[in-house]
């Protein structure tokens, strides 16, 4: 369609208005703040709406139908209430259960999911041995199993379901966080840099980067920790840029929404993002 005069000016104004709209980010709780941190570093002028579904957490211990239902409902809420221009599913479990449904239902909306960083880990490991810590739901998903199978010739993966760790991080129970980190790393044999040892650890839940310091204390500096925030942020930039939706002149503001405790979300944002 050819546009000229007033029509062209109207199209430009509409494009500008679309660029001004926020990006939606959601997780079952505060773990997605690790992804939001990477998004704000990559896209400092963009505005965001962060939705914490803490009233229904943890997703990793719920069945797939429940998680997909919540994901679809949250997307509709973010579209209706905030007119988001893009959606980041900042939860491994929700990505595995629902990202394909979200893309099918909202074909014009850029949707970015997260997945445990097996590909980067396979590229980084020198021993060919990688441990993956994730929720039970993520590890059991067809999406994860397909990803692992595609990398079978590149590395050997030791999988550890970490029941309770996301909830402990959510509650900022540092004693429990350390106990669970220690328990789950001890289930893996053996960390190190010698042939046959595991030299790379995938933090396969968006909550787990907030326990990275504890993992480093337990494992030592020679073990590589891999998370997903930065690749997700780069992919979000690429998709928005492709649709002409990047905002280079925004305020970098964040709005907050939660089905749980606003005070807990506020405390987590202050503690981990300095907001």
Instruction: Report the pLDDT value the prediction gives residue 17, as an integer from 0 to 100.
Output: 64
In this predicted structure, the answer to whether residue 6 has a pLDDT above a threshold of 80 is no
Confidence category of residue 189, pLDDT binned at 50, 70, 90: confident
The pair phi, psi for residue 30, each rounded to 5°, is -95, -5
CA distance 230 to 36: 10
The mean per-residue pLDDT over the stretch 270-274 comes to 91
pLDDT tens string 54-112: 999 888 778 899 999 999 999 999 999 999 999 999 998 899 899 999 999 999 999 99
Confidence category of residue 249, pLDDT binned at 50, 70, 90: confident
Average pLDDT score over the chain? 91
Check: CB of residue 59 under 8 Å from CB of residue 135.
Answer: yes
Identical fold for domains 9-114+230-273 and 118-227, yes or no, is: yes
CATH of 118-227, one of 2.40.10.220, 3.40.50.1860, 1.20.1260.10, 3.40.1030.10: 3.40.50.1860
Instruction: Report the pLDDT value the prediction gives residue 16, as an integer from 0 to 100.
Output: 57
Pick the range with the lowest mean pLDDT from 4-18, 53-67, 171-185, 214-228. 4-18
DSSP states of the chain as a string? ----THHHHHHHHHHHHHHHSPEEEEESSSTTHHHHHHHHHH-TT--EEEEE-GGG--GGGS-HHHHHHHHHHHHHHHHHHH--SEEEE--HHHHHHHHHHHHHH-TTS-EEE----HHHHHHH-SSSEEEEEE-HHHHHSHHHHHHHHHTTTT-EEEEEE-TTHHHHHHTT-HHHHHHHHHHHHHTS--BSSSTTSB-EEEE-STTGGGGHHHHHHHH-TTSEEE-SHHHHHHHHHHHHHHTT---SS----EEEEESS-HHHHHHHHHHHH--
Confidence category of residue 115, pLDDT binned at 50, 70, 90: confident
In this predicted structure, the answer to whether residue 241 has a pLDDT above a threshold of 80 is yes
Q: What residues does each domain of the chain span?
A: 9-114+230-273, 118-227
CATH of domain 9-114+230-273: 3.40.50.1860
Confidence category of residue 275, pLDDT binned at 50, 70, 90: confident
Instruction: Report the pLDDT value the prediction gives residue 142, as an integer from 0 to 100.
Output: 87
Instruction: Report the pLDDT value the prediction gives residue 114, as an integer from 0 to 100.
Output: 93
Give CA 64 to chain center in angstroms. Answer: 17
Would residue 91 show up in a list of annotated catalytic residues for this protein? yes
The mean per-residue pLDDT over the stretch 245-274 comes to 93
């Amino acid at each position: 369609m050819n546009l000229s005069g007033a029509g062209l000016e109207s199209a430009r104004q509409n494009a500008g208005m679309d660029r001004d709209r926020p990006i939606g980010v959601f997780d079952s709780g505060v773990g997605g703040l690790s992804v939001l941190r990477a998004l704000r570093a990559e896209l400092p002028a963009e505005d965001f709406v962060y939705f914490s579904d803490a009233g229904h957490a943890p997703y990793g211990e719920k069945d797939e139908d429940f998680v997909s239902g919540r994901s679809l409902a949250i997307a509709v809420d973010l579209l209706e209430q905030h007119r988001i221009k893009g959606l980041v599913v900042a939860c491994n479990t929700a990505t595995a259960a629902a990202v394909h449904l979200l893309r099918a239902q909202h074909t014009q909306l850029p949707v970015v999911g997260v997945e445990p960083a097996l590909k980067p880990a396979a590229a980084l490991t020198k021993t060919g041995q990688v441990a993956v810590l994730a929720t039970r739901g993520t590890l059991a998903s067809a999406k994860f199993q397909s990803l692992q199978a595609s990398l079978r010739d590149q590395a050997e993966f030791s999988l550890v379901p970490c029941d309770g760790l996301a909830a402990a991080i959510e509650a900022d129970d540092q004693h429990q966080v350390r106990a669970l980190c220690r328990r789950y790393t001890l289930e893996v044999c053996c960390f190190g840099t010698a042939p046959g040892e595991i030299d790379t650890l995938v933090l396969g839940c968006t909550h787990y980067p907030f326990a990275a310091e504890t993992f480093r204390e337990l494992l030592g500096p020679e073990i590589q920790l891999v998370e997903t925030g930065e690749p997700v942020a780069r992919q979000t930039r690429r998709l928005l840029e492709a649709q002409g939706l990047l905002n280079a002149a925004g305020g970098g503001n964040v709005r907050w929404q939660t089905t749980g405790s606003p005070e807990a979300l506020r405390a987590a944002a202050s503690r981990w993002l300095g907001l």
